[in-house]
Amino acid sequence: MEPMKPMKPMEPMKPMKAMPKAEAWWPEDLGKPATSGGQDDLRYAFFREKRRLVIEQDGQTTTYDSGAHEIGGVSQDGAGGLRFTDRDGEVELSSLKPVG
């Protein structure tokens, strides 16, 4: 039986490349969102200072006046309707007014 040969030294690891910066899909004039997220064919971004909620669903983008709501999350009901949460509870998308 032949004796084990020594292992080769490990090669130095290459530095990781930075991930590409995600491009904004919402109107530029809104700035950076306070919160954003998405799932499947739905994305949302909430802009606290501008009081705007932007929804992109199935490739269509709509901007809503969020009024006094502080949007923090989103859920979908069984019928495909959207509900958002704020500090006081749930906010149905149908209760928000589309703008511009």
* Residue 36 · residue 71 · CB < 8 Å: no
Residue 92 within any structural domain of the chain: yes
Q: Tell me, what's the pLDDT at 80?
A: 66
What is residue 48's predicted lDDT score, i.e. its pLDDT? 92
Residue at 6 is within a domain = no
Q: Looking at the domain assignment, is residue 81 inside a domain?
A: yes
Domain residues for 80? 32-99
Residue 2 lies inside a defined structural domain of this protein: no
Instruction: Establish if 50 belongs to a structural domain.
Output: yes
In a domain, 12, yes or no: no
In a domain, 87, yes or no: yes
Residues 25-48 have pLDDT tens digits of 999 999 999 988 887 788 899 999
Q: How many angstroms separate the CA atoms of 64 and 87, rounded?
A: 18
Positions in the chain whose pLDDT score sits under 50? none
Overall number of domains in the chain: 1
